Structure 1
Amino acid sequence: MNGISGYAALLPIDWLAQLEPHWRFALFAALGVVAGLGLDVVVRRVPAAIERAWLEEMQAVDAANPSPLHAPVSQAAPPGAPLVLAGPLAIASGPSLAASPAASPAASPATSPAASPAASPAALPNASPAASPAPSATPSRPPLANTARPRRWQLSLLSGVLSVAVAWRLGPTWQSLGALGLVWTLIALAYIDHDTQLLPDILTLPLLWAGLLCNLGHWFATLPAAVIGAAAGYLSLWALYWVYWWLRRREGMGFGDFKLYAALGAWFGWTALLQILLLACLLAIVIAGSAWLIGRLRSDQMFPFGAFLAAAGIATLFGGNGLMIWIGGTP
């Protein structure tokens, strides 16, 4: 009973095992730096592609169903305008670039929980004042040009450091290759969620399936635990969403949070879900609470809970399920 989650022994890769440790660390660092450059492209272009697909869909809807309450999308938001979304808008009909907003429980304006892009044109910038939520309650993505260069090297450094940490934690094994993909995807999701309050389906759903496939060999959890973890992760936050809706009549989080939590359950199994949620909540309390105390976050403002879930997933990858001992469970 070895391995990161106590289920499977580590599976060495012969040619990696033959490398000296310092060369192996250098290889993983180089891979991480290159991956960071790719992550910069993903972080900037995936939300822009989602925005274009959504605007095209809205233009088609407005052309087919003109309404005096809503300005045409072509006038309401130019193609380069920041993306602003409110409510659980799962853009399922986009060209393989669906996205689900992810927000904190203190965040969203009161909109219908079944809202969709076709039913919520007021979520676009500069939409009709009679239909749009208050600007103070809806954050927007900062201009991409202002963050492109700094983010590129920031992402490369973060990805390189975490890739070396993976090499140190898991060694020259197949599990380390799977962990690299997990870490890189979580970094991209955290940055995208921070910028746009979106967790794109094009990243969360493949991450979920990759976790299940990796655990066919019990790399990080047994396959039954991974399947239960994926289902329990989604359904638990889905249930919390509806409880909050019935109590407060507004959304507490986005559907993207459900999918990311399900993906983490698929990677680490159902026994890690409570630990991941606790870590994410603690991080959110510390960071968002500090920002509120110094006046950088309003009490009614969205904050990206998916970024905290991603950080908790990375912490669980390196630390295992040790926190479960503290709360009376089993590691």
Structure 2
Amino acid sequence: MDIFLYYPWLFPALAALFGLIIGSFLNVVIHRLPIIMEREWQNECAESFPDAQIEKPQGTYTLSTPRSTCPSCNTQLRIRDNVPVVSWLLLRGKCAHCSTPISPRYPLVELLSGGLCFILASHFGFSYFSVALLFFTFTLIAATFIDLDTMLLPDQLTLPLLWAGIGLSLTEISPVTLTDSIIGAMAGYLTLWSVYWAFKLTTGKEGMGYGDFKLLAALGAWLGWQYLPMIILLSSLVGLVFGLIQLRLQKRGIDKAFPFGPYLAIAGWLSLIWGDQITHWYFSTILGVV
């Protein structure tokens, strides 16, 4: 659009505002999607094993139903209580009705969403692919926090992300060619799948979940197979450092499992924005190749 050429600051500003608004919705997704998945599993088990007398979930529970309420006093939230960041600050981080503290993670997710959208829009400028990358970012944020909370990476997030990456290449909206996108998806999945089975055959334990395979496949579809080595290396380094910190804070042993999906998401997003600079730095500084 010509308006973004005349006012280059406009697209980053609108992207940041859009990110704040969607960030509020992402908090709903992060909280409700695992519950929706659990209710679906209960319903499937009840239908598949009627003799087990498994109770089916009652009522309707979706991303929009029922309306959001305070988990403590169960009072329905007003529209003015859901204004991104501002409501939390005006309420001083407490419920307006019962004064129960509201987790600071809610405004932090909103700020994270808005901030990442601003960086992305400033870096790439306006294009249809940049708009698609905003939703790419939203999906990674939701997947990251769901995995941190539940150690699950929902197919409802990873599979649409995978097919969207391939679809954008197919329609030539993405700068990644269709061949590179498909190879990236295949190589991403098979790489972690191979590591999983090598680890399991060696130790008899499962080192990661299938959701990690699908997430790396999705990243390969969006960025192309060329970025996979960087994503795997960065995620391994970040995962090692922060995984140990997380286990230490939780006072758990090093043999305990921790989610790997968040580090794949972080590595994928960093590779998207600064992949070329990281590659140039690595070859020039570490390997001494100009």
Which category of TM-score, normalised to the shorter sequence, fits these structures?
A: 0.7 to 0.9
Gaps of 5+ in 1: 1-12, 67-71, 81-145
Of 124, 141, 149, which residue of structure 2 is paired with 1:187? 141
Alpha carbons of 1:147 and 1:287: their partners in 2 closer, same or farther (altered >3 Å)?
farther
Q: CA deviation at 1:15?
A: 3.7
Q: CA deviation at 1:277?
A: 0.7
2:33 aligned with 1:46, yes or no?
yes
Alpha carbons of 1:73 and 1:307: their partners in 2 closer, same or farther (altered >3 Å)?
farther
| Larger mean Cα displacement after TM superposition, 252-261 or 150-159 | 150-159
C-alpha deviations, 1:219-264, integer Å up to 9, x for none?
Answer: 3422211110000101111111111111111211111000000000
**Paired residues of 1:229 and 1:269 also in contact (CA < 8 A):** yes
Task: Report the equivalent of 1:157.
Answer: 111
C-alpha deviations, 1:53-79, integer Å up to 9, x for none?
Answer: 111222334424x4xxxxx654xxx96
**One-letter code of the match for 1:284?**
G
Q: C-alpha separation between the residues in 2 aligned to 1:283 and 1:194?
A: 14
Q: CA deviation at 1:173?
A: 1.9
Task: Report the equivalent of 2:252.
Answer: 297
Q: Which structure has the higher relative contact order (CA within 8 Å, separation 6+)?
A: 1
Task: Report the equivalent of 2:9.
Answer: 22
Q: C-alpha separation between the residues in 1 aligned to 2:185 and 2:165?
A: 9
The percentage of aligned residue pairs carrying the same residue is 40
Q: CA deviation at 1:149?
A: 5.0
C-alpha deviations, 1:166-204, integer Å up to 9, x for none?
Answer: 111001222211211111110010011101111111110
**One-letter code of the match for 1:154?**
L
**Paired residues of 1:264 and 1:313 also in contact (CA < 8 A):** yes
Task: Report the equivalent of 1:168.
Answer: 122
Q: CA deviation at 1:270?
A: 0.6
Q: C-alpha separation between the residues in 1 aligned to 2:101 and 2:186?
A: 36
C-alpha deviations, 1:32-61, integer Å up to 9, x for none?
Answer: 101101111111111110000111222334
Alpha carbons of 1:151 and 1:294: their partners in 2 closer, same or farther (altered >3 Å)?
closer
**Paired residues of 2:43 and 2:57 also in contact (CA < 8 A):** no
C-alpha deviations, 1:248-299, integer Å up to 9, x for none?
Answer: 1121111100000000000011110010011111011111122344563322
Task: Report the equivalent of 1:105.
Answer: none
How many pairs are equivalent? 242
2:15 aligned with 1:31, yes or no?
no
**Paired residues of 1:186 and 1:310 also in contact (CA < 8 A):** yes
Q: C-alpha separation between the residues in 2 aligned to 1:254 and 1:73?
A: 27
Gaps of 5+ in 2: 59-99
**Paired residues of 1:44 and 1:148 also in contact (CA < 8 A):** no
Task: Report the equivalent of 2:156.
Answer: 202
Give me the CA root mean square deviation.
2.5
**One-letter code of the match for 1:177?**
V
**Paired residues of 1:275 and 1:321 also in contact (CA < 8 A):** no
Superposed structure 1 runs of 4+ greater than 4 Å apart: 146-149
Matches within 5 A, 1:77-88: none
TM-score after normalising by structure 2: 0.76
Going by fraction, where is helix more abundant, 1 or 2? 2
**Paired residues of 1:272 and 1:321 also in contact (CA < 8 A):** no
**Paired residues of 1:288 and 1:297 also in contact (CA < 8 A):** no
1:221 aligned counterpart, secondary structure: coil
Of 27, 30, 43, which residue of structure 2 is paired with 1:56? 43
Q: C-alpha separation between the residues in 2 aligned to 1:210 and 1:312?
A: 19
2:153 aligned counterpart, secondary structure: strand
Matches within 5 A, 1:134-149: none
**One-letter code of the match for 1:168?**
S
1:214 aligned counterpart, secondary structure: helix
